[in-house]
Amino acid sequence: MIIIDPPSFQKGSFEATKDYQKIIKKLPEIASQECILLACLNSPDLDSDFLIELIREFAPGFTFIERLENVKEFASQDEERSLKNLVFKTKVTSV
């Protein structure tokens, strides 16, 4: 299992729109053949599709499985503006 949970924006250190793809590009090198990925994003300006598309483009060996429901303490009127915890899994190919 790989968990990616960087800060959404940390001045001088990490900015999701620029830096998240750098992490995702490394996934094919470090992921095992059967791997579960939890990718987290807590940015009101970026929706789930932001991560799904980055994974599709830079780590195509992963398939989107589901978005985990937030606990009630983090409930939001617009869930796409709240914490996004997305689960992906490597595609298993039969031989």
Over residues 14-68, the pLDDT tens digits come to 888 888 899 999 999 999 989 999 999 888 888 999 999 999 999 999 999 999 9
| Cα→Cα distances 67→6, 23, 42, 43, 51, Å | 17, 19, 13, 15, 11
Average pLDDT over residues 75-92: 82
70 inside domain: yes
Count of domains forming the chain: 1
18 inside domain: yes
Q: Please report the pLDDT score of residue 9 as a whole number.
A: 61
**Coil, helix or strand at residue 82:** coil
22 inside domain: yes
Boundaries of domain holding 69? 2-90
Answer whether residue 2 shows pLDDT above 80: yes
| CATH number reported for the structural domain that contains residue 22 in this entry | 3.40.50.150
Tokens read off for 25:
């590009």
61 inside domain: yes
Q: Please report the pLDDT score of residue 40 as a whole number.
A: 92
95 inside domain: no
Q: Please report the pLDDT score of residue 75 as a whole number.
A: 67
